A and B are shown apart, each in its own frame.
Chain A
């Protein structure tokens, strides 16, 4: 979190942006001619997915800092970013399933490359937590978690390519979820929604990080007091 903006301020910005996004999505942006009201979930689904990528990238960047500087604080930051990324990844899967049901009548489709990619990433990052909590806290856990997080950013493009290739022999039909080109107001609503989701992610990341840091300080204090 930037040092100059405090958490309460950031939270207020997040609420304001979210209100603006909801207003724009439901009252300003025109309804999609083809999909109708169900297309509105696009304004949440795509920004959540993009934000999940940002969080995974942030987690990997902090992981690189862990390996580079051996800083303990980066480990906590990397873990928190990946935790939030996994939450946003789960939300992507849920919103994607709702959209798939509304558009194509099924809760899941293997033809949607992005959804399948998120399923793979979700499984990969769930294993991150299993791995992390199986290793005793300490420098070794920090490094192992960091290496695994770095594997994640390599897996994203490789899996994306793999799923594109797999769709050639699993499902030759390709759905295009974008439909017709976005109008100006639709694009505006999308940008505001994305900004709202990014700021929300930043707030959630900061809150969780503050909690984790307090927890770590408390533990240190307890140890110092010999309890």
Chain B
């Protein structure tokens, strides 16, 4: 495999392999999301109903994504590996796409645990809600990877990242909660698709400007 797709696959594989060997991010994300759900049980007053729980599920997912994204560029920052990647001959947007794929894989793995745990501990999830989670995960990884690269360029990156991602994730939460609780989830699913498309194109096109001097 060569060219653009080859670059993306090689870079994403590198991130997944690193995680497989070091196990820096995924176990922490899994523990975080389950701990958050347990905290939410105590935060919800008795008789709060399923709708409140669905809302809190989205808070848990957004914070878990942030947790993973905060570490997204750590391997590249160490030993200035990002400079090497930027200097390579390939298209720089491939770096962003590969990182998004890797972040999505981590978040997906956390959700594979979080969603059944939520269904057992709180309320059942239907197909529309799961589709909402999938689409919103794509959206948050798309913008989060770029925001994380921006935050990594400055001081206090761990503090800046949530500030950048949370306002951008509000439409995703709206779409996700709508897909979970509405009797007409189609509109919300379509909205999430629109969000993903708009911000994927924007992030893909602008990543080069974020990492080059």
Q: Which residues of A contact B154 (CB under 8 A)?
A: 131, 134-136, 144
Report the Cα distance A7→B50, complex, angstroms: 59
- Interface 1/0s, chain A 127-148, versus B by CB < 8 A? 1001100111011110110111
Partner of A163, one of B150, B153, B174, B195: B174
B78 within 8 A of A: no
Complex-state Cα separation, A144 to B152, whole angstroms: 11
Q: List 28 A-B contacts (CB under 8 A).
A: A67-B206, A124-B168, A126-B163, A127-B163, A127-B164, A127-B167, A130-B163, A134-B154, A134-B155, A134-B157, A135-B155, A140-B213, A147-B150, A150-B202, A151-B168, A154-B202, A158-B198, A158-B199, A159-B170, A161-B171, A161-B194, A165-B175, A165-B178, A168-B178, A168-B182, A169-B177, A169-B178, A169-B181
**Does A16 have its Cβ within 8 Å of any Cβ on chain B?**
no
Within 8 A of B (CB), among A145-178: 146-148, 150-151, 154-155, 158-159, 161-163, 165-166, 168-169
Residue of B nearest to A127 (CB): B163
How far is the CB of A62 from the nearest CB of chain B, in Å?
14
**A165 and B167 within 8 A (CB):** no
**Considering the chains assembled together, what is the distance between the CA atoms of A217 and B213 in angstroms?**
23
Closest beta carbon of chain A to B148's beta carbon, Å: 12
Minimum CB–CB distance from B131 to chain A (whole Å) comes to 16
Residues 49-71 of chain A: 1 if any B CB is under 8 Å from the residue's CB, otherwise 0? 00000000000000000010000
Residue contact B170 to A144, C-beta cutoff 8 Å: no
Q: Is A191 an interface residue (CB 8 A)?
A: no
> Known contacts A131-B154, A135-B154, A169-B182: does B210 contact A147 (CB below 8 Å)?
yes
Task: Tell me whether A123 and B166 are in contact in the complex, defined as CB-CB below 8 angstroms, given that A131-B160, A143-B210, A143-B212 are known contacts.
Answer: yes
Q: Does A120 contact B (CB under 8 A)?
A: yes
Residue in chain B with minimal CB distance to A151: B202
Q: B157 — which chain A residues lie within 8 A by C-beta?
A: 134
Binding site for A on B (CB under 8 A): 143, 146, 150-151, 153-157, 159-160, 163-164, 166-168, 170-171, 174-175, 177-178, 181-182, 187-188, 191, 194-195, 198-199, 202, 206, 209-210, 212-213
Chain A residues whose CB sits within 8 angstroms of the CB of B187 once the complex forms: 165
Point out the residues of chain A lying under 8 angstroms from B164, CB to CB. 127, 131, 148
B199, A154: Cβ atoms under 8 Å?
yes
Q: How many residues on chain A are close to B (CB under 8 Å)?
A: 34
Given contacts A131-B154, A151-B202, A168-B182, contact A159 B171 (CB under 8 A): yes
Residues of A near B188 (CB, < 8 A) are 165
In the complex, A17 Cα to B187 Cα: how many Å?
45
Listed in ascending order, the chain A residues whose CB lies under 8 Å from chain B are: 67, 120-121, 123-124, 126-127, 130-131, 134-136, 138-141, 143-144, 146-148, 150-151, 154-155, 158-159, 161-163, 165-166, 168-169
- Contact, CB under 8 Å: B171 / A127: no
How many angstroms between the C-alpha atoms of A107 and B160 in the bound complex? 30
Could you tell me the distance between the alpha carbons of A141 and B167 in the complex, rounded to whole angstroms? 21
Given A131-B160, A162-B171, A165-B188, the answer on whether A143 and B209 have CB atoms closer than 8 Å is: yes
Q: Would B153 and A165 count as touching, CB distance under 8 A?
A: no
B170 pairs with A120, CB closer than 8 A? yes
State the CA gap A163–B199 with chains docked (Å).
18
> For A67, what are the chain B residues with a Cβ–Cβ distance below 8 Å?
206, 209
Smallest Cβ-Cβ distance to A146: which chain B residue = B209
**A161–B188 alpha-carbon span in the complex (Å):** 10
- B-chain residues with CB within 8 Å of residue A138 when the two chains form the complex: 213
A residues less than 8 Å from B209 (CB atoms): 67, 143-144, 146-147
Q: Complex: how many Å from CA A141 to CA B210?
A: 9
Report yes or no: B174 in contact with A165, Cβ–Cβ below 8 A: yes
A87 to B38, CA, bound (A): 40
CB distance from A115 to the nearest CB of B (A): 14
A211 CB → nearest B CB, Å: 24
Docked Cα-Cα span, A80 to B77, in Å, equals 31
* A123 pairs with B199, CB closer than 8 A: no
Complex CA gap A111/B156 in Å reads 36
Which of B160, B202, B213 is A130 in contact with, Cβ under 8 Å?
Answer: B160
